[in-house]
Amino acid sequence: MSIEFEGREVAIQPGDSLAAALYRDGVRVFSRSFKYHRPRGLYCLSGDCPNCLVTVDGEVNIRACQCAAKAGQVVSRQNAWPSVDRDALNVIEKMHPLMPVGFYYKTMAKPKFAWPLAEGVIRRVAGLGFSDKSDAPVEIDRVNRHPDVLVIGAGVAGLSAAIAAAEGGKRVMVIDEQWTPGARVAAGPTKEAIDRLAATAASNPGIEVSSGTAAIGIYEGPMVLALADDHVAHIHPQAIVIAAGGMEVHRIFPNNDLPGIFMGRGAARLAGAHGVKPGERAVVWAEQPEAIEHARTLIAAGVVVEAVITAPGVDASGVGNRQIEGSIVEAKGRKKLSGVVVKTTGGATEEINCDILAIGSEIQQNMHLPRLIYDLPCILTGDSAHPGSSLSEAESNGREAGATAAAGLPLYVNPPASKPRTCGTAGYVCLCEDVSVKEVEQAIDEGFESAELLKRYTTVTMGPCQGRLCADQLRAIAERKTPSEAARVSAPTTLRPPVRPIQVQQAAAGARHHIERHTPLHQRHLEMGATTLWAGPWKRIFSYGDMQAEYEAVRHRVGVIDVGTLGKFLLAGPDVVEFLERIYPMRIADLEPGRLRYGLMLEEGGVIIDDGTVCALEGGAFYCTVTTSGAERLESWMLDWREAWGLDVFVVNQTASLAAVNVAGPHARDLLQKLSDDPLDKETFPYLRHRRITVNGVSCLAIRLGFVGELAYELHFPAAAAVDMWDAILEAGKEWDIRPFGLDAQRLLRLEKGHIIISQDTDFETNPWKVSMEWAVKLDKPDFVGKAALVRAQRRTPRETLVPWQMEPGMATPPEGMTVTIGGNLAGRVTSSKMSYVLGHPVGLAWVVTEHAKEGGTITIGGAPATIAGHAFYDPEGVKLRA
Amino acid sequence: MKKSYDVVIIGGGAHGLGTAYYLVKNHGLKAENIAVLEMNYIGAGGSGRNTTIVRSNYRTPEGIRFYERSMELWRGLSADLDFNMMMSNLGHFTLAHTDSSVRVQRERAETNKLLGVDSRLIFRDEIAELCPELNMSMDIPYPIEAALYHPPGSVLRHDAVVWGYGSQFSMRGGHIHQGIKVTGIRKDGSGKCIGVDTNQGPIDAGIVMSAVAGWTTQVTDMAGIRTPITNHPLQAFVTEPVKPLLHKIIVSANLHTYISQTDRGEILIGSEIEPYTTYSMRSTNTFLEHSTANALDVVPLLARLKIQRQWTGYCDMTPDFSPIMGKTEVDNFLIDAGWGTWGFKASAVCGETMAELIGTGRTPDLIEPFRLSRFAEERLVPEKAAASVSH
């Protein structure tokens, strides 16, 4: 079993991470640092630092220590040229004194041409890996889980909490980012405790342990976003126990970033969990007792521990060749560690040669998850609550947390207030962005005195580690430099999701779809060769291939269009008339059953938001239609008003349950009469009336409207009958060579009539006055939505007015969206334009500044003259639609 | 901190600090008589949370002239402030995926051209050539049909703008006070503004200007002024840095996404404002899901990049998607607000024009259309089609 690493084969063993396999093979430099291209080796082995970011199978920035080695993987290191081992860009480090923090801000500001020249180079040098340009997303599953209690972290505290919660009768889910619980813990008492608790948890049917599943974020709900190997989980628990553990504090001293320097747990992990000997001669810095375990692990792996450097009170007796009370003040070496300088408690300094330094420093909380809690039902336990807990403390504390979660007791906890760390006076604060203590101090001297400003100016905490290592150190430096303002300058910076990196395609799991609504006739249209276009969430029919033929059929014979996408509402109830009087600006109360009215819908500012028809039904109910794109929005809009006014009205959305077709053209009546025994003649069923009639054996609400300017019947009927009805109409219409028509033809037909389309011809400041629709507004009504604004607007001349325009025959039709000019000055814009077949010249609608919006006036559209018309171009008297 | 200043500016963002800078530079006010009060740290609000795009391809003549002046200032600002803003002239694409969107983009292109802004409608072949990273497939729900191409569209380092203005103002002796919260607007018996109350005591001022964007309604409440502003959250995220991958600024109006790559190599992705109003800055997963899904529709090669951080800012939205600037009904209390999703790109011209208003007492022509009274006068400056999403 092997992987391919930069052109050669590297053997892997079961349980290996990529980091372990490569380290065993002799790789010591895993990356080059972001800015100065300094060599960097393994450090934390917990996914907390940026040092082992590699490219795997074309995917950049994979943490080698967190990635399971799998046979056949192609792995390479990043951010170096020509190679990580021999990085020519390392010369940047030699320029270090010339490139202080904020270097780019301070240079090349002048002369103006300098920066554009430099920028290309800087962009190329920045960034880490080369991403695969042929990448394409794959679909990733998203699952929803609903445990009673979610425990994050399968360590001693987490497993104890899970067991206690399950004993309390709860269904418990435990997630942990390791492959198995305790996978990265070296043999010893901690490992034994985890193994014992994991076995207990596994035998409890109320507990599900999902290993290899990382918590990415805690969001309102609560909802925990979790990432597993092959899916993304949305976990919706009643309570969350955070047992995310702790980590050793990043210690800062000169050369603290040299390969060979490990966090204590990292070195122990490599030696004890992966069986890879980290080096030959080690120094262990033991600030707390757990580090003594790490020293023992290293010794067991065959490493000579030259010295254990202890903090006061830590007992290292018998471990390592020497025990020195003191601290490490400097690391020695150029490309890798060659020794450390120890300062004893007594003040003496001594240099000890070694190739490994394991820093078992003070344990701090893994802060990221706890800081996302806000007011959510979470409880912290183990190192998340009490960093540096002993095993027995972690176990009892975990049980307590689990029992509290199971009891559903108030769980809100304040995120722990972390304190600024002690921080050395030299060395690298930030490994991600290569920022030293000196640079941070210099930034403070420049005035960037608070942690938040330092973060942005120096970019400390803004790299891949997201401040895990460096955030508290940054605060410490700020506090040290400006002690008088400590509270302000060292306030913690904000932490945000994701806690662990998540791919863009993983974040999109389950969301990569668009709602596309179809009418029941959609398949029929496609079979007839229709092309479609978006209309809100609907796919509507643009044309069946010959727009002019469709148009001619309607104007001269008969055509049919699917208008099933219209929003359709049945309104009823004791207050229905009052309700409609308030949401429509026209009169409703006098509308007798069988009659209908065109209705605008306005928002409070008097702006037109929709239009449609209102039919008064027998028995006091009303049937209202709204535009295709408006249905969903207007349903909630109406319901909002209903609640606001407290009126007793039912609003039933029938958009999907009813189909609708419009049969239009001089022969529309002849056609329908073939399919219906009900009287359709002009006297019984005139224009602007509706009747319930039976067509093709189906009861329909038939509405006589005139959007396209011809005799027309709009039929509304149950969706299940749609296909039969459509086929029957087309069959019955054969004798007049019927054509189905699409939106393209409909848009021309209505444009010739001068009818507007809301949102195409109107914008979000269009009120009825501006589109000459005073007739649709009754200001003498007591009130309606938008009335107050319209009364105000009536006192002013609108800046622009919508007018119809036409061009001479033979002129090209300007596209919609063209500007209108008068005397070379901007004077408006074209909202609709088409070549009129019946007139033989282009026609359209345009907004024109009101002073020039006069019938007969000349405007210029795209360099060509056009004349403002005064009325509908086609059948201005409306004779045809009243036929 | 002095007890009295000629001018007190509330809000230490790019607008407030810019105004302070131009007051000194263009109008000769004494820097030590100007104070900028910031309740947090400078640039903590929208100035440091936006997606750093500057452009002038707006819809209305008022908007176009205003943002075009801002572009002129941006181009010279690094040299002017001797602070490198790292302006990257990448070029800006507003993609159109539906015929109605094509109509809107054409309208913008034609109006832009007429007013001398470099902006045009381009179609599939040219889009593919200029930006090969885009998904030009026709076999997707929203194929790219056309784009409004605005070559001058750029990104720059937003923090640098705050710091550049701030350091120049400070070096000239100006007072920037961080960690000071304004708690009241003080008025005399005639209702004229005479200063502010703060959590560290009262300050007298000849002129008080509010430049607090997302916190505007709180300050105008203190002043007793009503505005039609609603506060919505807007979210964004960045990926971990990668080598150059995307060479243009991509915006999709239909898919509510905007995408660019920073100088540092991160891919920065944003979305539309959230539909609800709130003063919470918590991030949501819904945003992350939809913005990633939409971004992948447009630029599929982002698939395996890793998200590093998401964040949230406030947008003080106005009904017409244009700002509210200038005098108010309270004498000596000026407002610079309604910055919604378009505040950063205007910060240079805002500083210049608000300083002119304070320095001369006259409202500059460029901002006259943005007066607060326009809502009562029904003289809106409708930028909705150009401002939403197209940050």
pLDDT tens column, A616-662:
999 999 999 999 988 889 999 999 999 999 999 999 999 999 999 99
| pLDDT tops 60 at residue A854 | yes
Average pLDDT over residues A320-325: 97
Domain extents in chain B: 4-71+158-229+319-387, 89-152+231-317
pLDDT tens column, A348-378:
999 999 999 999 999 998 989 998 998 899 9
Q: What is the pLDDT of residue B263?
A: 86
The CATH 2.40.30.110 domain(s) of chain A lie at 797-868
pLDDT tens column, A489-538:
998 888 899 999 999 999 999 999 989 999 999 999 999 999 999 998 89
| pLDDT tops 60 at residue B74 | yes
Confidence band, pLDDT 50/70/90 cuts, at residue A127: confident
pLDDT tens column, A85-122:
777 666 666 666 556 677 778 777 777 777 787 787 77
CATH topology classification for A797-868: Elongation Factor Tu (Ef-tu); domain 3 (2.40.30)
Q: What is the pLDDT of residue B389?
A: 45
- The CA distance from A841 to A846, in Å, is 16
Q: Which residue has the higher pLDDT, B129 or A122?
A: B129
Q: Determine, for residues A447 and B170 on separate chains, whether the beta-carbon distance falls below 8 Å.
A: yes
- Class of A2-125 per CATH? alpha beta
What CATH architecture is A141-247+365-407?
3-Layer(bba) Sandwich (3.50)
**The two three-digit tokens of residue A530, written as one number:** 């229709």
Q: Determine, for residues B300 and A61 on separate chains, whether the beta-carbon distance falls below 8 Å.
A: no
- pLDDT above 70 covers a percentage of chain A that reads 97
Q: What is the pLDDT of residue A20?
A: 97
Is A508 an interface residue toward B (CB < 8 Å)? Answer: yes
Average pLDDT over residues A58-83: 89
| CATH homologous superfamily for the domain B4-71+158-229+319-387 | FAD/NAD(P)-binding domain (3.50.50.60)
From A123, A133, A789, residue closest to B263, measured CB to CB:
A123
- Residue B378: its chain A contacts at CB < 8 A? 789, 792-793, 796, 798
The CATH 3.50.50.60 domain(s) of chain A lie at 141-247+365-407, 250-361
Q: What is the pLDDT of residue B390?
A: 41
Confidence band, pLDDT 50/70/90 cuts, at residue A412: low
- ipTM of the complex, rounded to two decimals: 0.95
| pLDDT tops 90 at residue A268 | yes
| pLDDT tops 80 at residue A781 | yes
Is B290 an interface residue toward A (CB < 8 Å)? Answer: yes
Q: How would you write chain B as a 3-class SS string? A: CCCEEEEEEECCCHHHHHHHHHHHHHHCCCHHHEEEEECCCCCCCHHHCCCCEECCCCCCHHHHHHHHHHHHHHHHHHHHHCCCCCCECCCEEEEECCHHHHHHHHHHHHHHHHCCCCCEEEEHHHHHHHCCCCCCCCCCCCCCCEEEEECCCEECCHHHHHHHHHHHHHHCCCEEEECCCEEEEEECCCCCEEEEEECCEEEEEEEEEECCHHHHHHHHHHHCCCCCCEEEEEEEEEECCECCCCCCEEEECCCCEEEEECCCCCEEEEECCCCCCCCCCCCCHHHHHHHHHHHHHHCHHHCCCEEEEEEEEEEEECCCCCCEEEECCCCCEEEEECCCCCHHHHHHHHHHHHHHHHHHCCCCCCCHHHCCCHHHHCCCCCCHHHHCCCC
Q: What is the pLDDT of residue A572?
A: 98
- Class of B89-152+231-317 per CATH? alpha beta
| pLDDT tops 70 at residue A261 | yes
Q: What is the pLDDT of residue B41?
A: 94
**The two three-digit tokens of residue A32, written as one number:** 């080059």
pLDDT tens column, A742-767:
999 999 999 999 999 998 999 888 99
Is A537 an interface residue toward B (CB < 8 Å)? Answer: no
Q: What is the pLDDT of residue A584?
A: 98
Q: What is the pLDDT of residue A134?
A: 78
- The CA distance from A704 to A688, in Å, is 5
CATH assignment, A568-653: 3.30.70.1400
Closest chain A residue to the Cα of B43, Cα to Cα = A453
CATH topology classification for A428-491: Arc Repressor Mutant, subunit A (1.10.10)
Q: What is the pLDDT of residue A36?
A: 85
Chain A: give the shortest CA distance to residue B380, in Å.
8
- Residue A61: its chain B contacts at CB < 8 A? 240, 242, 305-306
Q: Which residue has the higher pLDDT, A92 or B315?
A: B315
Is A106 an interface residue toward B (CB < 8 Å)? Answer: yes
Confidence band, pLDDT 50/70/90 cuts, at residue B386: low
C-alpha torsion sign, points B240, B245, B248, B254: negative
Q: What is the pLDDT of residue A105?
A: 81
Average pLDDT over residues B150-162: 96
CB of A387 closer than 8 Å to CB of A130: no
Q: What is the pLDDT of residue B225?
A: 96
Q: What is the pLDDT of residue A517?
A: 95
| pLDDT tops 90 at residue A379 | yes
| CATH homologous superfamily for the domain A514-565+655-763 | Probable tRNA modification gtpase trme; domain 1 (3.30.1360.120)
Note if the pTM is more than 0.90.
yes
Q: Which residue has the tokens 């109003």?
A: B277
The CATH 1.10.10.1100 domain(s) of chain A lie at 428-491
| pLDDT tops 90 at residue A327 | yes
From A219, A817, A821, residue closest to B284, measured CB to CB:
A219
pLDDT tens column, B110-125:
999 999 999 999 999 9
Chain B: give the shortest CA distance to residue A220, in Å.
7
Q: Which of A305-314, A419-428, B156-165, B354-363 has the lowest average pLDDT?
A: A419-428
Confidence band, pLDDT 50/70/90 cuts, at residue B388: very low
